[in-house]
Amino acid sequence: MKKRGMKKRIERKKEGKRADKKTLKAKNEKKALFSGRELVWIGIAAIFGIISFVFLDNTVAYMLQSFKYGWLTAILSIFKPMYMIAVFGVFTLLLLWKSRRKELALPFAISLIVSAALSFVLKFIFMRERPFGLIEYIDFTSVKDYSFPSSHTMAIFAGIPILRRSTWGIKFLWITLAVITSVSRLYFSAHFLSDVIFGAVFGYIAGKIMIPAFSALRKE
């Protein structure tokens, strides 16, 4: 009987220690801007982006240039203009409002605007030419729009960290739009593969930073 009692006490102590470790881990994750899993994926994406920049960009661009289908071109053309990100954003804001996730609306909208603006700053720092000498202009202006990073990808990926706190349907919809938009940039030879990869990475980081920034503002 004494041995059984001792065993139970030891087991309870072990369970208590495990629970404490889990609680401490949860607290640390809350304090950290990025979780361990997020850092791993960001690191993998960044490494792949560098590999793409050095070895794959031109090969992928040439492959996709000959890969054109009428029906696919028609579908992806919907995602081509930059203002479509705003259209998708407004639609998502309405869904957030309906799903009683109003607190996500403002950080979501600001994350898209800030990341898009930041992408243009980065473009004029790196001034990378687009594939095959393609020239695009910033919407409704005669200002030349450079290749790195992809503004479409950066803006739309900025919304993902915010929408992780929304409903499953909204998350799925936005991630689907993000993937299709990114693919469309490659399909139309508007960007190299590394432009899109780093656009996604920079956008996700920008959106993630918005979360604690808005939390701090609310506390004030």
Beta carbons of 123 and 149 less than 8 angstroms apart:
yes
Q: Is residue 40 part of a domain?
A: no
In a domain, 13, yes or no: no
Phi/psi at 82 (5° precision) = -65, -30
Q: 3-class DSSP state for residue 80?
A: coil
Q: What is the pLDDT along the chain (220 residues), one digit of tens a residue?
A: 555 555 555 566 656 555 445 544 544 445 677 888 889 999 999 999 999 999 999 999 888 888 888 889 999 998 888 888 889 989 988 888 888 787 888 888 889 999 999 999 999 999 898 988 777 777 666 667 888 999 999 999 999 998 888 888 888 999 999 999 999 999 998 899 999 999 999 999 999 888 776 665 555 5
Does residue 39 sit within a domain?
no
H/E/C letters for each residue in 42-64? HHHHHHHHHHHHHHHHHHHHHHH
**196 in any annotated domain:** yes
Phi, psi (degrees; rounded to nearest 5) at 192 = -80, 165
Sequence-ordered list of residues with C-beta below 8 angstroms from that of 147, at least 6 positions apart, any chain = 123, 128, 129, 130, 131, 190, 191, 192, 195
- Name the domain count of the chain: 1
**Residues 42 and 198 sit within 8 Å (Cβ to Cβ):** no
Report pLDDT for 24: 46
Supply the pLDDT for residue 23.
47
Bridge partners of 144? 137
In a domain, 89, yes or no: yes
Read off the pTM.
0.79
* CA dist., res. 165 & res. 213, Å (int): 16
23 in any annotated domain: no
Contact 126, 181 (CB under 8 A): no
Give me the pLDDT at residue 52, please.
Answer: 94
Domain that holds residue 141: 59-219
Residues 6+ apart with CB under 8 A from 15: none
pLDDT of residue 157: 94
Residue 173 CA, distance from chain mean position:
13
- What is the CB neighbour count within 10 angstroms for residue 35? 13
DSSP 8-class letter at 128:
P
Burial of 51 (0-12, 13-18, 19+ CB in 10 A): middle
**Domain presence at residue 19:** no
In a domain, 44, yes or no: no
